[in-house]
Structure 1
Amino acid sequence: HRWLGHLGYDNLDVMVRDGMVVGLDIGRAGIQEAKAGVCAPCVMVKQQRGPYPATGHKVAVLLGLIHLDVCGPMPEVSLGGTRHVTVLLDDCTGCCTTRHFS
């Protein structure tokens, strides 16, 4: 959890279950046990975080405004053999999708 930037325990469980990590010496039972504990840094950050301010502006037309982010090259190759990812977000629906590419 700490080594992965305080990644959520549910996401950590998925990574272990699906074999996305190598060399992590903890099973799913260990993750559930850790989840039952308290991570002081996570608690402190969540207490300080305020809500995101509402902008009041939202596009009313499907695909009227698309937010796009391209990330890469990543230092490690993904399970699918790619090093880049594109994230697309439709402002109207909130629908988000990703596409991986080399």
Structure 2
Amino acid sequence: FDGTVEIISIAREAGERTKIAVKSNDPNIDPVGTCVGPRGSRVQNVVNELGGENIDIVQYEEDPSDYIANALNPAEVIAVQFEDEDDERKAFVIV
């Protein structure tokens, strides 16, 4: 309510999975834990409204490699390599 935790982006495949990237403006606040709630209580309300759709809440990072690793958790990301072509940037992830 006070802007301490921000939703940075949301990606969704309806009926399948939603990924929500969050960050905290207070270093003492865990943005993922705050959104999930005690024993998943906050996120479970949203899951129920979406008919059981999987929801992943990931911590946003300014560094693209760290952000990608967070988004792919629990997979262990060994490396992220980037390739720039024209107006596109591709990421290759080694797990």
TM over 0.5: no
What is the TM-score when the length of structure 1 is the normalising length? 0.31
Q: More strand per residue: 1 or 2?
A: 2
Return the TM-score normalized by structure 2. Answer: 0.32
Larger radius of gyration: 1
